[in-house]
Structure formats: C-alpha cells, structure tokens
A and B are shown apart, each in its own frame.
Chain A
Amino acid sequence: MARNELQRHSYAHRVVHWTVGLSFLLLLLTGLAFSYPSLFWMTTILGGGAAARVIHPVAGIVFSVGLALMFFMWVREMFLGQLDWKWLGAIKAYASHDRAAVPPVGKYNAGQKLFFWVESILGAVLLLTGLPLWFPADFGGDFLVLMRLLHYLSTLGAGLFLIVHVYLSTVAYPGTLRAMLYGRVTAGWAKLHHPLWYKEKTEH
C-alpha cells in the first residue's frame, strides 16, 4: 500500500458487494423485461424470454444470499447515532458540497447507513414476494397480482436509492469507486468524506 493510502474494504467485503451488485443488474434486466412489454427485447441478450425466466429466480437466490452476507458483515457499523441525526439535518449543505457546514463523520455517514437499511428491508420483501412468483401455479390470481405489485414497488424503491448510490460513488465523488474495486482510498479522499475515520486510522 502506498504511504498516502488507507485500507477501506476487505477482499471479502468487495466480493460480497459485487455479487449483490451484478446479480441485481441481472435481476433488473430480466425483471424490467417482464414488467414492461416494450422492454421485453432485453431478454434477447440473455438468451430469450424462456432463459430469462429461468435466470431471474436463480439470480434472485444469489442476490438474497449475497444481501444476507452483506447485512451481517456491515450491520455493526450501520446503527445511527446522535451524530448521524445532526448530519441528516445538514443534508442540504452536504448536497451542495458545503463541507464546512456538515458535521464530520466516521467510516459511514447517515446517508450510507440509511441506504443500507432501506436495501436490506426491500431485499427481504423482494425475496418474500418473489418466491410465490417463482411457483405461481400454487397461488390464486388476486394474491399473485398483489405479490407482483409489492415486488415491483420494492424494486422501484431499491432502484431509486441505487441511482443515488451509483451517482455518488462514481462521478459525484471521484476516488470512491476504487475503494470498492481495490479496497483502498487516498488520504485526501478520507479527509474529505470521512474525517473522523481518517483520524482514527492515522492516530498511532
């Protein structure tokens, strides 16, 4: 590791993150095709509609297992404290890059913590509503439509949060993506985004 770099995510954390990320991408491609007839063509890149129907639930299991691992690997760092509520109060300043008005945070800010909880809960709903959709012949029509509705709304919620997640971790905050790719961040990045964590890692 270079002198001015800090270790942020372990190899195991990165593998689990991308397992969840790539399986979600696969689920989104196939799921959108099933939800929107005008997007049904997307199944072509996965081998057609019948193949997509086989892939979706299997990818769903991979996603669920990944998300469960993710939950237990990260949950200890995700409880919101007093500092987090103050941070949420200053979210407008945070969004306009007015760092001086934002309380300094540790390894994760309140936005990241909320993202974790929202995705964990919606992931559980997706699994629970997805299982009957996997074996629909055993269920009634109205129940299945309700499951389709909840499955869709959970995807929408998870998808909206995902837009913010991808935007912030790529173009909005340069230097963030490498944390999840190589596990390391620069000292400058740590000081800017997670000053308390930087202090904790360098105080020896």
Chain B
Amino acid sequence: MNLSDSSLALKRISASPEPVAPGIRQNPEIAKLVDISRCIGCKACEIACKEWNELKVEPTHNFGSFQSHVDLSPDTWLLMRFNEVEIGGDVKWLIKKDACHHCEEPGCLFACPAPGAIVQYENGIVDFNQENCIGCQYCVAGCPFDIPRFNAETRKVYKCNMCIDRVEAGLEPACVKTCPTNAISYGTKDDMVLLAEDKLEVLNNRGFQNAALYNPEGVGGTHMMYVVPYGDQLEEYDLPESPVAERGAISALGAIKTIGAFLFGAGILATALHYLAVGPDTPDENSHGEG
C-alpha cells in the first residue's frame, strides 16, 4: 500500500469553529512500533532526527548516565532515556524512546486555543504549525507524556512531527530509516499491532512473561507504540500507566462558555429592553432656581 496517500488530509484542527469536512477516501492510519527488546542504545535515531529536521546541536555533558541529553528541548525532539533498573539481581536498561506518541486523542490539540496551531492528519500524525502558535504553552500542560517544549526566544512550541515531510513522500521517518537493529518498525497501524503480537509471542517464549504492547486507551491509542519486555514495570520505563487526554474537561469548559455567551448577550438585551421601557432618568437642573 502507498502510505503517502493519506498524509495531508486533516482530521482535527485546534480551536477551530468549523469542524473538518470529511473526505470520501478511506485513509489508512500509520504508526511506528518501537521494540525496546531490540534496542542496543546506539542513539543513531537521535542523530538521524537532528539531521533530517535540521535541529541545532546542543552540547551534552556527563551526568552519570549513558543518556545523551538530560531532557527533551525545542531542538531535541527525540531522546533515548536510559532508565537503569535492578531486576532479578541484574542492572537493566529500560530504555524509552522519548518523543511524541502521536495520540489518537491528542491532549495538546484539545488544550490549544490558537486556530490551526495544532493539526491531526488522517494518518494519525499530530503536527504543530508554528506560524499559528501563539506561545501560550497550554499544549505543554495538556500533553499526558510531557513532550512539547517551549522556545522562549521564538515563543513557539516544538515537538516530533514523525517526519511528516518524509511520510508525505512515501518514506519512513528518519529514526526508522536509520535504526541498525530494526528496533523501530513503520507501517499501517493495523499492521503494526499485528507485528507487535508476533513480537510479544517471541518475547514470551524467551521468558519475558510480562512483555506488553504500550498503546494506552486513555488517549485513544497512539501512533508510536512500544513493545516493552517488562510490561509490569511501565513506571520504570517512564511510561505513564494510564495517560488521559483532558478532552471531557475541555468540552465541559466549551459548554460553559456557550452558556456564558448567552448570559452576556441576555445582559445586553436586558439593558436595551430596560431603556425602552423606562428611558433615561434625566436630572432637572431648573426646578430649584439655581439654573
């Protein structure tokens, strides 16, 4: 299947009074599947991400970990987190590919008040349009995975866009392309879920009874999924147990705002009706002879 068919059809637009008009064509959803058990920690994906997206190099320093950077930044959209955990007397690296999960229910998009600053394509990619971003950072708080990063100089927020420009051209994202152990797979979401099932079976046979697919339901599933060998230790991977997009709360806020708009209009209408009923109360300047 040509995965580029779907790339630029929009599914959701932030803060938009008009909903997106549905198209006719059925567009497949795409996804990345990160198999942590195959990751050797080489960080080639980090470099590929920086190179393809032309992100600034940031000096790193030794802070007692194999990890390259301490945290994500406006110029670092992908960070392999080297979580050191003791399991069965051995020290294990529970590596997490920290980057946008491209949620089906994107908390960032629901929180965004700037029309068109965040869009979700039909293929599942969630993308930030910096030219529409107002720099309010509500998306930063709205993201259940703590991914978007604010640049105080440009006053815009940045994150992984799953190499939308490559995907659009039918290519896989840069991190997928470069991974030397095929730890990152890319294809339709359905195919990736099936692939994950195969991988889980292999892991189970190898003795990882708790191996699991991380595709959390609270955000409607994600378009970057993980196969985690120690599925019972999500917290140690730095993966939230049950992330939730604040969609219900934001919709409730929207409903209250609609009521508020009616009340405000009713207030203005009431003063107009009052004026028509009793008119102005004009002082009489002459009745007491001072005029």
Known A137-B150, A163-B271; judge A191-B288 contact (CB<8 A): yes
On whether the beta carbons of B271 and A136 are closer than 8 Å, the reply is no
Bits for B245-267, please: 1 = Cβ < 8 Å to A, else 0.
01001100100110011011001
Task: Give the docked Cα–Cα distance between A149 and B144 (Å).
Answer: 20
Q: Does B229 contact A (CB under 8 A)?
A: no
Distance in angstroms between the alpha carbons of A4 and B288 in the assembled complex: 11
**Bound-complex Cα distance A173 to B275 (A):** 10
Smallest CB–CB gap between B249 and chain A, Å? Answer: 4
Q: How far is the CA of A72 from the CA of B256 in the complex (A)?
A: 33
Contact B263 A160 (CB under 8 A): yes
Q: How many positions in chain A have a CB within 8 Å of any CB in the partner chain?
A: 51
CB distance from A173 to the nearest CB of B (A): 6
Question: In whole angstroms, how far apart are the Cα atoms of A93 and B22 in the complex?
Answer: 57
Contact B283 A145 (CB under 8 A): no
Chain A minimum-CB-distance residue to B15: A37
Instruction: Kindly state the separation between the CA atoms of A156 and B258 in the bound complex, as whole angstroms.
Output: 11
B290 close to chain A: CB less than 8 A: yes
Q: Is B153 an interface residue (CB 8 A)?
A: no
**Residues in chain B near residue A49, CB distance under 8 A:** 114, 132, 134
Contact with B along A26-45 (1 / 0, CB 8 A): 00000000111110100100
Interface string of B129-153 (1 = CB under 8 A from A): 0001111111011111000001000
Picked from A54, A173, A186, the residue with its CB within 8 Å of the CB of B280 is A173
Residues in A135-168 with C-beta less than 8 Å from chain B: 135-137, 139-145, 148-149, 152-153, 156, 159-160, 163-164, 167
B-side contacts of A164, CB under 8 Å: 267, 271
Q: Is the CB of A187 within 8 A of B285?
A: yes
A52: nearest residue on chain B (CB-CB)?
A: B134
B257: A residues at CB distance < 8 A? 35-36, 152
Do A187 and B290 touch across chains, with their CB atoms under 8 A apart? Answer: yes
- Assuming A97-B278, A164-B271, A172-B275, is B264 touching A152 (CB within 8 A)? no
Shortest CB-to-CB span from B45 to chain A, Å, is 26
* Nearest-Cβ distance from residue B51 to partner chain A, whole angstroms: 28
Decide: B280 and A34 in contact? CB cutoff 8 A: no
Contact B253 A152, beta carbon cutoff 8 Å: yes
Whether, in the assembled complex, A12 has its beta carbon less than 8 Å from a beta carbon of chain B, the answer is: no
CB proximity to B under 8 Å, residues A146-204: 148-149, 152-153, 156, 159-160, 163-164, 167, 171-175, 186-189, 191-193
For A153, what are the chain B residues with a Cβ–Cβ distance below 8 Å? 256, 260
B107 at the interface (CB under 8 A from A): yes
B89 at the interface (CB under 8 A from A): no
Interface membership of B155, Cβ < 8 A: yes
User: Which chain A positions have C-beta within 8 A of B135?
Assistant: 50, 53-54
Give the chain A neighbours of B284 by CB distance below 8 A: 188, 192
Bound: A50/B152 CA distance, A: 12
Cβ of A1 < 8 Å from any Cβ of B? no
| A3 engages B141 (CB within 8 Å) | no
**Contact residues, B114-135 vs A (CB, 8 A):** 114-115, 132-135
The answer on a CB contact under 8 Å between B281 and A192 is yes
A188 touches B283 (CB 8 A): yes
B287 (CB) vs chain A CBs: closest residue = A188
Let me know if B204 is at the binding interface, CB within 8 A: no
Task: Output the nearest chain B residue to A49 by Cβ-Cβ distance.
Answer: B134
Closest beta carbon of chain B to A38's beta carbon, Å: 4
> Does the CB pair B283–A192 fall under 8 Å?
yes
**For chain B residues 184-242, which have a beta carbon within 8 Å of chain A?**
none
The 7 residue pairs across chains A and B that have the minimum distance between CB atoms: A188-B283, A49-B134, A188-B285, A167-B271, A38-B17, A37-B15, A53-B134
- 28 of the cross-chain contacts (CB-CB < 8 Å) are A4-B290, A34-B113, A36-B261, A37-B15, A40-B114, A40-B115, A49-B132, A49-B134, A50-B133, A50-B155, A52-B134, A53-B155, A96-B278, A136-B137, A139-B141, A141-B141, A141-B246, A145-B250, A152-B253, A156-B264, A163-B271, A173-B281, A186-B285, A188-B283, A188-B285, A188-B287, A189-B283, A193-B283
Instruction: Name B residues whose Cβ lies closer than 8 Å to a Cβ of A.
Output: 15-17, 107, 111, 113-115, 132-138, 140-144, 150, 155, 246, 249-250, 253, 256-257, 260-261, 263-264, 267-268, 271, 274-275, 278-288, 290-291
